[in-house]
């Protein structure tokens, strides 16, 4: 209905004049077209009358015929809004509960990762749909309706191919706090976790001198720092930090960052953006046909980055912002 928000669309009938003016066509064909296609003035009057009936029906239904949302017809606007990513407020509304109740479910390990991602950014609609049944059954009075004789296909895994998620254990921190990050990947890969400050200077958190093993197994979330990590990671200055996760199919990583752990425990990158750009430019095409445009479409808040092609890519990325106040 999006293109018919004002009823029938006015269009000029070109067929009538062409057929009636073509004496090469049989008489019976011209007679049928003349009977089926009224003259322009009559057709215009019919379309105009139809538009008025449509607008009157909308008014009787309590709707403003010309109402739009940001210039978009309402049906299209509603469909677009539904397809947009889901944040905590929208998820709570669709579940019919308050944000605080939804937030409290993070203590349940089954929902922890999803709720943290909702809190810190947005979750793609299709992933939220996959989790909705379990969330609704566990948190609200909604009941699953089973249709007799209906075929119920098993739900696919909530994570799509080539996806990396990154969440932190709190919404904000104080100087001296010890953030803990949870990272999950849908494929085996080598993780590089980098903290980028407001000046653009990066500090590679993983790998480091104390934890050089950065292999992540598909479907097995890891925490950084781990509970038995031989080092501490503490926030220092107030401000907003960006934490970037890159999972690469290559042990040396996907950003061209060189480590020398005999010289420094945590590798520093003076200009992370420039270093990243240079690394992207020189990645050999032989590694992956899609590497050159492997996509820096990081979700700056929400910590999820989705694949653009079905074949394995050289690296997948996610990022979140960490506030220290």
Residue-wise pLDDT tens digits, 223-265 = 999 888 888 888 888 888 889 999 998 887 767 788 999 999 9
Locus of tokens 């349940």: 108
Degrees, nearest 5: CA angle 170-223-209? 115
Count CA atoms within 13 Å of residue 12 on its CB side: 3
Kindly provide the b/e burial profile for residues 255-293, where b requires at least 16 CB atoms within 10 angstroms of the residue's own CB: bbbebeeeeeebbebeebeebbeeebeebeeebbebbee
The structure's pTM equals: 0.56
- What is the rounded average pLDDT of the residues 133-137? 83
Which range (78-87, 154-163, 174-183) has the least confidence? 154-163
Residue 319 · residue 299 · CB < 8 Å = yes
The four Cα atoms 102, 182, 294, 240 give a dihedral, to 10 degrees, of 80
Residue 305 has pLDDT above 70, yes or no: no
Residue 275 has pLDDT above 70, yes or no: no
The four Cα atoms 278, 306, 216, 118 give a dihedral, to 10 degrees, of 120
Residue 121 has pLDDT above 80, yes or no: no
Residue 87 · residue 118 · CB < 8 Å = yes
pLDDT at 162: 58
Of residues 142 and 217, more confidence is placed in 217
pLDDT digits (tens, 9 = 90+) for 59-79: 898 888 888 888 888 888 888
């Amino acid at each position: 209905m999006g293109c018919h928000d004002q009823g029938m669309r006015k269009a000029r009938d070109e067929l009538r004049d062409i057929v009636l003016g073509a004496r090469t066509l049989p008489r019976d064909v011209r007679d049928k077209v003349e009977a089926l296609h009224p003259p322009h003035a009559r057709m215009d009057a019919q379309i105009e009358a139809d538009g008025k009936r449509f607008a009157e029906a909308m008014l009787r239904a309590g709707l403003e015929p010309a109402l739009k949302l940001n210039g978009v017809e309402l049906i299209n606007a509603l469909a677009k809004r539904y397809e947009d990513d889901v944040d905590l407020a929208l998820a709570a509304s669709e579940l019919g509960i308050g944000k605080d109740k939804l937030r409290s479910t993070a203590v349940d390990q089954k929902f922890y990762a999803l709720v943290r991602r909702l809190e810190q950014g947005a979750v793609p609609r299709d992933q939220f749909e996959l989790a909705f049944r379990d969330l609704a059954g566990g948190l609200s009075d909604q009941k699953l309706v089973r249709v007799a004789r209906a075929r119920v296909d098993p739900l696919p895994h909530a994570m799509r191919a080539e996806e990396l998620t990154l969440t932190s254990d709190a919404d904000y921190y104080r100087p001296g706090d010890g953030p803990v990050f949870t990272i999950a990947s849908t494929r085996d890969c080598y993780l590089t976790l980098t903290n980028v400050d407001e000046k653009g200077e990066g500090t590679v958190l993983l790998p480091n001198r104390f934890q050089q093993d950065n292999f992540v197994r598909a479907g097995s979330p890891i925490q950084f720092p781990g509970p038995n990590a031989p080092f501490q990671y503490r926030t220092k200055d107030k401000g907003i930090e960006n934490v970037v996760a890159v999972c690469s199919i290559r042990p040396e990583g996907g950003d061209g960052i060189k480590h020398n752990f005999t010289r420094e425990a945590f590798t520093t990158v003076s200009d992370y953006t420039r270093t990243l750009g240079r690394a992207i430019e020189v990645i050999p095409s032989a590694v992956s046909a899609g590497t050159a445009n492997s996509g820096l479409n990081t979700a700056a808040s929400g910590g999820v980055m989705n694949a653009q092609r079905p074949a394995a890519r050289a690296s997948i990325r996610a990022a979140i912002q960490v506030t220290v106040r």
